[in-house]
C-alpha cells in the first residue's frame, strides 16, 4: 500500500504520523498502569518498549493499514497521545482508537482528535462506517463515543482478549457516513489538512 498520512490541524491540536522523536513523550504515559490496559496493551516497562511499539506503528502501512497519528498539543508542542483508524477495510470501514496522557485527561483532546479522524475517514477515505469498542469499565472512553455521536450497538460478550490472556466484555459503538453528515455538516470547515 503506497500511502502517505496527512497532517491534520484542529483548533488545539496537530495530528501527524508518529515517529521516533515522540518516544520520550510516548513512554511518559505508556508506562502508566491506567493507560495501556484500557487501550488493550501492556504498560511499557522501558523506553525501548515504546520505541518498539512506534516501529510497529510505522510498519502498519506495509500491511494495508493506515498508520497511527501522534496527537500534538500546539500550545506545548508536545505529543500527548495517539489516535488511529485501525482494522481498515478500504472503502468500507475502520475502527477508531485513541489514548491520551492522563495529565491531559478531561480537556476534550480525545474528542477533538477523534472528530478529525471521523472527518478523514468519511470525507477523505470514503468509508461507510467507523466503529469503536471500549471496555465496559472504561467510562471515559464510553463518554467520548457518546459525545462523538456514535450509536451504541450493544455488548460484545467476551469480545476482547487482553495481553495477559484475560477475556473481557466490550461495548460496541459505530457511526455511518450518513449519520456523520447529519451530525457534522456545520463543522466540516474546522478541520484543516496541512499536507
Q: What is the residue-wise DSSP string for 116-171? A: HHHHIIIIIS--SEEEEEEETT-HHHHHHHHHHTPEEEEEEEEEEE-TTS-EEEEE
pLDDT of residue 64: 86
| Phi, psi angle pair for 115, to nearest 5° | -60, -40
pLDDT of residue 36: 85
As a whole number of angstroms, the distance between CA 152 and CA 138 comes to 14
Domains, the chain, with CATH or none: 8-183 (3.40.630.30)
Which parts of the chain register pLDDT below 70?
1-2, 188-189
pLDDT of residue 86: 94
Q: Give the tens place of pLDDT for each residue, 69-120.
A: 999 999 999 999 999 999 999 899 999 999 999 999 999 999 999 999 999 9
The mean pLDDT value of the chain amounts to 93
pLDDT of residue 159: 92
What long-range pairs does 86-91 form, CB within 8 A, spacing at least 24?
86/60, 87/131, 88/64, 90/64, 91/125, 91/126, 91/127, 91/128
CA neighbor of 71 nearest in space, from 36, 25, 140: 25
Contact assessment for residue 130 and residue 84, using Cβ atoms and an 8 Å cutoff: no
Strand stretches in the chain, DSSP E: 8-9, 13-17, 68-73, 78-89, 93-100, 129-135, 151-161, 167-176, 192-193
Amino acid at each position: 500500500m503506497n500511502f502517505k498520512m496527512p497532517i491534520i490541524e484542529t483548533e488545539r491540536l496537530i495530528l501527524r504520523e508518529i515517529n521516533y522523536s515522540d518516544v520520550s513523550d510516548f513512554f511518559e504515559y505508556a508506562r502508566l498502569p491506567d493507560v495501556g490496559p484500557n487501550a488493550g496493551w501492556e504498560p511499557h516497562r522501558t523506553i525501548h518498549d515504546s520505541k518498539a511499539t512506534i516501529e510497529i506503528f510505522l510498519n502498519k502501512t506495509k500491511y494495508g493499514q493506515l498508520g497511527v497519528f501522534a496527537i500534538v498539543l500546539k500550545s506545548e508542542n508536545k505529543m500527548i497521545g495517539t489516535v488511529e483508524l485501525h482494522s481498515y477495510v478500504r472503502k468500507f470501514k475502520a475502527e477508531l482508537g485513541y489514548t491520551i496522557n492522563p495529565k491531559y485527561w478531561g480537556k476534550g483532546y480525545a474528542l477533538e482528535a477523534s472528530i478529525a479522524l471521523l472527518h478523514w475517514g468519511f470525507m477523505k477515505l470514503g468509508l461507510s462506517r467507523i466503529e469503536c469498542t471500549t471496555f465496559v469499565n472504561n467510562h471515559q472512553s464510553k463518554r467520548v463515543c457518546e459525545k462523538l455521536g456514535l450509536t451504541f450497538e450493544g455488548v460484545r460478550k467476551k469480545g476482547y482478549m487482553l495481553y495477559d490472556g484475560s477475556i473481557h466484555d466490550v461495548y460496541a459503538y459505530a457511526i455511518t457516513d450518513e449519520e456523520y453528515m447529519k451530525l457534522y455538516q456545520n463543522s466540516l470547515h474546522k478541520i484543516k489538512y496541512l499536507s
